[in-house]
Amino acid sequence: MSWDEIKGHDEVVEDFRRAINRNRLASSFLLVGPASIGKRMFALQLAQTLLCGRVDITEMAPCGVCEDCLQVKAQTHPDLLLVQRPKDNTRIPLKTFIGEGKTRMREGLCHDISLRPYRGRRKIAIIDDADDMNQEGANCLLKTLEEPPSDSVIILISESQQRQLPTIRSRCQIIRFAPLPESIVAELLLAQGVTEDPEVARAIAARGKGSLRQAAQLADEGLENFREVLLKTLAKADFNSVQLAKDAWDFVQKAGDDAPLRRQTIGYLIQFALDYYRAELHLLSGSDPAQIESLAAGRHAGGIDGMIACLDRCIEAEMQLDSNANLASLIEGWIDDLATASRTGI
């Protein structure tokens, strides 16, 4: 892997290049941006750059073939500490940071990062699922961030800086990653074999919101079929909210028992609805002002006020999803409110 493979983030790469050449590399970073846009790849490439045994870091061009580079690629380098949420957990366990039982405070990330580097010039920690830290884990990490070892770099990867404690945000240099351009997402979809049709790739990329993973998942036939069902139902002037909520929850449960996957699926459904109401309002904005209300009422009994209320309710549902609301209750309340607003305008 090289920096050329980090697609769509040239400005961020250049910012790090300047910081390294000026010897102003911070000790703690919070990489923020949508899921699956290259933040983790960026973090690993930075680790390879900092740990390469042949090329000076100021050149920002790790050789890729020395033992250090190969171990970083294999994620086995003794000076590279990787933290991820276990697949069977909804949170990163506290023991990941400070150990447990008799070894508490003598193992775990906070202990290991404090040790001198084994081989490289520094130790590097990458917390891939920083949004999934619990309060205790975040507070333990905070102590390390307050007094980071001089020969360490700590990288937290997050989808939203608001999901991190204010005290953690204040002790990290925040690096914002923009969604990938649709052209790059389409290019990657073709390169990874998600589809062989360039037109399909472009269509999927347009709905992927700059995220390769989201675009790839939207290529799933089941999700696309339910999207059509959802939008056809929302387009009705009056629809059965109880039945739609049941159908939506049944579909979400098919994602499996993993809570993050279920949340992700609900997030897609909310985004589909958001896109629908935005498109409807955009369509109306180009109409004759005298016809707007009649056109809106033709689509929704609640008129244009109802569509605006539905749009606001979708945004609220996204916030509830981020706040770990009960998923079944979220879907039921959200869809019921959409039906009411669409019918009555409030």
**pLDDT tens, position by position, 110-151:** 999 999 999 878 999 999 989 889 899 999 999 999 999 989
What pLDDT is stored for residue 184 in this prediction? 93
**pLDDT tens, position by position, 256-291:** 888 878 888 999 899 899 988 888 887 766 555 544
Q: How is 188-232 classified by DSSP, letter by letter?
A: HHHHTTS-S-HHHHHHHHHHTTT-HHHHHHHT-HHHHHHHHHHHH
Bigger pLDDT: 235 vs 82 = 82
Q: Which two tokens stand for residue 320?
A: 């509830």
* Confidence at 345, pLDDT banded by 50, 70, 90: low
**pLDDT tens, position by position, 180-232:** 999 999 999 999 888 898 998 998 888 888 888 888 877 888 888 999 999 99
**pLDDT tens, position by position, 88-115:** 777 899 999 999 988 888 899 999 999 9
What pLDDT is stored for residue 323 in this prediction? 79
* Confidence at 11, pLDDT banded by 50, 70, 90: very high
Ramachandran angles phi, psi of 75, nearest 5°: 60, 40
Strand stretches in 24-72, DSSP E: 28-32
Q: Return the number of other C-beta atoms located less than 10 Å from residue 45's C-beta.
A: 22
Which amino acid is it at 84? Q
Residue 298: is its pLDDT beyond 70? no
Burial label for 66, CB within 10 Å (0-12, 13-18, 19+), is middle
Residue 338: is its pLDDT beyond 70? yes
What pLDDT is stored for residue 217 in this prediction? 78
Residue 292: is its pLDDT beyond 50? no
What pLDDT is stored for residue 336 in this prediction? 95
**pLDDT tens, position by position, 39-56:** 999 999 999 999 999 999
% of the chain at pLDDT higher than 90: 58
What pLDDT is stored for residue 18 in this prediction? 95
What pLDDT is stored for residue 302 in this prediction? 59
What average pLDDT does the chain have? 88
Q: Which two tokens stand for residue 152?
A: 């360490």
Burial label for 166, CB within 10 Å (0-12, 13-18, 19+), is exposed
What pLDDT is stored for residue 291 in this prediction? 47
